[in-house]
Amino acid sequence: MVQQVMRTHGAGSVSVDDVGNEVTVAGWVQKRRDHGGIAFLDIRDASGLVQVVADPAQHPAVDDLRMEFCVRISGEVTNRPEGTENTELPTGLVEIDAREVEVLSPAKALPFMIDDRTDVDELIRLRHRYLDLRRPRMAANLKARSRATAAIRRTLDQEGFLEVETPTLINSTPEGARDMLVPSRLRSGEFYALPQSPQLFKQLLMISGVERYFQIARCYRDEDFRADRQLEFTQLDLEGAFWDREAVFETIEKVLSSVVEELRGERVETPFVRLTWHEAMNRFGIDKPDMRFGMEIVDLTDYLGDTEFGVFKSAIESAGTVRGINAGQQDWSRARADELTEQAKGLGAKGLVWMVVNDDGTLRSPIAKFLSDNEIESIKKVMDAGPGDVLLVAADRWKTAVEVLGGLRNELGRPDNHDELAFLWVTDFPLFEEAEDGSITFSHHPFTSPVDIDEMRVRPEAAISNAYDAVLNGVELGSGSIRIHDPDVQRQVFEILGIDSETAERRFGWFLEALEYGTPPHGGFAFGIDRLVMVLQNEASIREVIPFPKTQSGVDPLTGAPTWVEAGQLSELGVGLTPEAKARQTADE
RNA sequence: GGGCGCGUAGAACAGUCUGGAGUGUUCGCCGGCCUGUCAAGCCGGAGGUCGCGGGUUCAAAUCCCGUCGUGCCCGCCA
């Protein structure tokens, strides 16, 4: 460690071994407890907390000390008097008997307490993020992030990976998420885009013979915020040549295990559980299932073939399905039923059927009278339902039915912490999906290889891709795929996507040409480091593991970004404001 | 673009449903007392555009409309 001239010890490192020695610590006043003839100061620095004892009569400066003053204190380390040890504190057996107390820098009255116990409005925390980051929880999150990236680099270095930086001023592609744009001054009127991912550059690196590449890459997507989404975020991006899916899985499992071990001290069971996309949808109604609890979706269609109940009947007759979940013991009321029905409707259902199993085995349900004894017995049996269990049933086309139940399953069963970890691979995603306007779009990205090229040509809507997601506790960590390395296949995919060959050449010609020079088969993966650290630190939002995040409206409350810029800057860039934007600017200034 | 919630002292809240004087709690802040605390304790004090604008009313923190900010979600996120 580098020697420091200002202090001899970190506050948290003072121990019984130092008793009798003169030490100097420097840090912040966490708390002052003044008893008149004797005063206690808790001094906090990055290493921890130590108690200082001072006689205010001898140290007038102690009278002036307030919370978060930055101070330097010298004194002798002593054992605490018997009975006054603090077992909660790592340094609680000792204290520093102050000889010298020096204020390095005073602090104003604080906008909020530097304390994990108080729950402060996030806007106020962000406005004074430098104070918020002094809180032990936030300091621990910063540290966890740093250790996570260190573990990633260590692991990948051992595996022979090369860390390569790719540009962040690149060309815009209209597919996928909205690009963050940066106007060019030297070519006024033209724009760079910030990368949504280093996708094409890492594929170029495979063509370049790098073979094993990784990057801890800042990525940008100009879409609306969520608890787990910011405009900019950090991904571990990696790619390997001559790789098949198993090589990708093995590498990512190694990396994720090393991070979990670093932050949690736990071993992760590998290989991870695997589900195909279809299986995930069928059993959990979502492509990122939280595997920490059961409540799996059950297919009831076969047991209701002759049902009298119109909703079920018409669903089955129109090639739909009837599915249910056993939600187990729930506080059940009419209000709760209405609430969940509303939620089901929000997820696309036309309604929701609920049933509660009575102690005598009969069903309490608005539709009980439409069901035969046989049907009731079959439903109870296949759903493994006992007295008191709440059963929720949806009848619709397959995708809607499972998605509705998947949403309710998460609502009803998902743990509200991340104490337990459940990793999962979801494989065999559809290659394409139908867009809102009925056109075909890719479900991963257009550089993902199909499992079966002939099938892709004949029945694109049924084609399976070599794409896969990593999921942790119902959080999508990231995704990857085996890429297309054959330029002809790449051209065919563009064609199926409705990108005519002229457009494809204009936009991706440079990439298609690169593929023509002996491209090795390759594949890779990228996962969100923010999300991973969020889960491992048991946080509900990635903002808690990002030092300076933005609010839902894209504003940084600390610096005020984004801001208006001088008209001269704009004209140099060949950029103008719309009348609406100008009006807003005038109102602002 | 849409749905729902929140906005009261420096901070966290109660009060809003059922209109009646800015009414209260905890922490912080200021002053005083206090020699073993560790979320110290005791006494006293200061501190308010009830987010903002409009409306209803004799009377609005409270009811209505709008607006801004913020959070969760849907859409969106290759």
Handedness of CA A11, A545, A159, A277 (dihedral sign): positive
- Whether the per-residue pLDDT at A444 is higher than 70: the answer is yes
Residue A41: nearest nucleotide (C-alpha to C1'): B38
pLDDT of residue A254: 98
| Residue with the two structure tokens 């990948």 | A156
Give the residue-averaged pLDDT of A247-262. 98
Q: How many residues can be counted in chain A?
A: 589
Q: Which residue is nearest to nucleotide B13 (CA to C1')?
A: A119
Query: Mind listing the pLDDT tens digit for each residue in A11-50?
Result: 999 999 999 999 999 999 999 999 989 999 999 999 999 9
CA dihedral (A141, A143, A147, A153) in degrees, to 10, reads 100
Structure tokens at A365: 């349900």
CA of A112 to C1' of B71 (A): 19
Identify the band that residue A316 occupies on the pLDDT scale cut at 50, 70 and 90. Answer: confident
Query: Mind listing the pLDDT tens digit for each residue in A65-123?
Result: 999 999 999 999 999 999 999 999 999 999 999 999 999 999 999 999 998 887 899 99
Q: Name the residue among A278, A575, A294, A292 with its Cα closest to residue A418.
A: A292
CA of A156 to C1' of B38 (A): 45
Residue A479: nearest nucleotide (C-alpha to C1'): B78
Residue A228: nearest nucleotide (C-alpha to C1'): B77
DSSP A281: H
pLDDT of residue A331: 81
For A331, list phi and psi in degrees, rounded to 5: -65, 110
Residue A119: nearest nucleotide (C-alpha to C1'): B12
Using a 7 Å cut-off to protein CB atoms, list the covered nucleotides of chain B. 1, 10-13, 27-30, 33-41, 69-78
Element (H or E) spanning A26, and its range? strand A22-34
Count other Cβ atoms within 10 Å, centred on residue A12. Answer: 19
- Name all domains of chain A by residue range, CATH numbers in brackets: 11-105 (2.40.50.140), 294-413 (3.30.1360.30)
What residue type is assigned to position A206 of the chain?
M
CA of A32 to C1' of B27 (A): 15
- Asked whether the beta carbons of A418 and A538 are under 8 A apart, the reply is yes
- Asked whether the beta carbons of A124 and A111 are under 8 A apart, the reply is yes
Tell me the pLDDT of chain A averaged across its residues.
93
DSSP A12: G
- Asked whether the beta carbons of A422 and A472 are under 8 A apart, the reply is yes
CA of A34 to C1' of B52 (A): 43
Give the residue-averaged pLDDT of A246-258. 97
Q: What is the 3-state secondary structure (H, E, C) of A301-360?
A: HHHCCCCCCHHHHHHHHCCCEEEEEEEEECCCCHHHHHHHHHHHHHCCCCCCEEEEECCC
CA of A61 to C1' of B77 (A): 55
CA of A136 to C1' of B50 (A): 33
Between A229-243, A390-404, A509-523, the lowest mean confidence (pLDDT) is in A390-404
pLDDT of residue A436: 67
Query: Mind listing the pLDDT tens digit for each residue in A345-364?
Result: 888 888 899 999 999 989 99
Residue A221: nearest nucleotide (C-alpha to C1'): B77
Identify the band that residue A452 occupies on the pLDDT scale cut at 50, 70 and 90. Answer: very high
Region class of A348: left (phi > 0), else alpha (psi between -120 and 50), else beta: left
Question: What's the pTM?
Answer: 0.95
Q: Name the residue among A200, A202, A184 with its Cα closest to residue A192.
A: A184
Identify the band that residue A583 occupies on the pLDDT scale cut at 50, 70 and 90. Answer: confident
